[in-house]
Amino acid sequence: MPASPSLNIVLGVGGGIAAYKSASLLRYLKELGHDVHVVPTRSALHFVGTATWEALSGHSVSTEVWDDVAEVPHVRIGQEADLVIVAPATADFMSRAASGAANDLLTNVLLTAQCPVVLAPAMHTEMWLNAATQNNVSILRSRGVVIIDPAVGRLTGSDSGPGRLPEVEQIAQIALAQVSQRSKDLAGKQVLITAGGTREYLDPVRFLGNSSSGKQGIALAQAARDRGANVTLVCANVTLPLPHGVDVVPVETGSQLAAAVFARSEQADVVVMAAAVADFAPVQVSDTKMKKVAGQEEMTLTLRPTVDILAKLSADKKPGQVIVGFAAETGDANGSVLEHAQRKLATKGCDLLVVNQVGSGLGFGTDDNEVTILIREPQSAIAVARAPKLVIAHAVLDAVIA
């Protein structure tokens, strides 16, 4: 089930080496439940062939206005699109688009599209910084085309600099945000979200941590932003691309995360604690690297409980505020995953608790998740089947709104 009603997306592919990455962008958009039609340029097919695009999209692929003329594809494709993404957008393509050229199927689509158009440029640094390219970028932006600044990094060969295609998740996030598929049911609301996993240091190089990647928290921030909220994302050791249009607060330790959350929670209408926060921290932290002693067979660490951020938020919450907790659980001899989660909901005092079983290709670091949302009042549970984490995020926000 998609995170929002299925969109009819046109994915244009320019003739650059980064075209191979667009196959991953196509797969990502399909996994979110959208219908994607690929329109490559002629030169793009030198990098990725027609068979690949047809197999991944489930639609026939053409570069020419002369194919299937009876269906008038050069007009129909653009008219029927809800969103057009061009990735990579080469310097040549942007030059043709800025001039209003209509010399292939993709430029015709741009001229007939009445929907948001998003370009993700990718080229060598010198080409991106060239005055002609920058002028074309300015022209296209003045017409309402969204152009994502290229990333900085390794390019073709040994070159490095601005011109690298952004990560496909970032392209998708920015592009999908241009299309309002949900009512802005969080418009004007302040939403505070945590993501990632905290680190509790033993010495300057070692720490106690966990495997949380921050993917679910990032998806929640993206979903809340798209629903009109003003979002603050407190990130603990997250290395993934972060959502566009979100206020990001980086932290490392549990105490830093607690300080960042408590400083902002009073102004928040919704607080979502998706980060994996350590329950214990070392009593003593060495200022220097701890050395292995010859003959030493054991080391004993003394740990202290950390602040229970979720419980404190719930105890101090203001009227009308919604507090959401997350619980990554495993079943054991003392109870099932849901039994442990129900006890946690009772002790933490939050309004909603999102629980998932860790393992079996779900949970930390995965693209998908499968959760049960436990609701305190009225007491109920919502099971959300395995789906991309953006789908899970919208399901959680649906429960918050309800």
DSSP state of 66: T
> Which residues share a beta bridge with 199?
none
CA-to-CA distance for 66 and 352, rounded, in angstroms?
A: 56
Query: Catalytic residue among 130, 210, 230, 334, which?
Result: 210
Token pair for 335: 């109870």
Active site residue 130: no
How crowded is the C-beta side of 197, counted as CA atoms within 13 Å?
A: 17
Establish whether the linkage from the previous residue to 378 is cis, with ω within 30° of 0. Answer: yes
How crowded is the C-beta side of 103, counted as CA atoms within 13 Å?
A: 11
CA-to-CA distance for 35 and 37, rounded, in angstroms?
A: 7
Helix then strand count (H, E) for the chain reads 13, 19
Contacts with 334 (C-beta within 8 Å, 6 or more apart), sequence order: 340
DSSP state of 226: H
Q: Is 359 exposed, middle or buried (0-12, 13-18, 19+ CB in 10 A)?
A: exposed
CA-to-CA distance for 2 and 109, rounded, in angstroms?
A: 25
Token pair for 72: 């008038």
> Which residues share a beta bridge with 160?
154
Please tell me whether residue 233 adopts helix, strand or coil conformation.
Answer: strand
Packing angle of the helix pair 91-99, 131-142 (nearest 10 deg): 50
Active site residues: 210
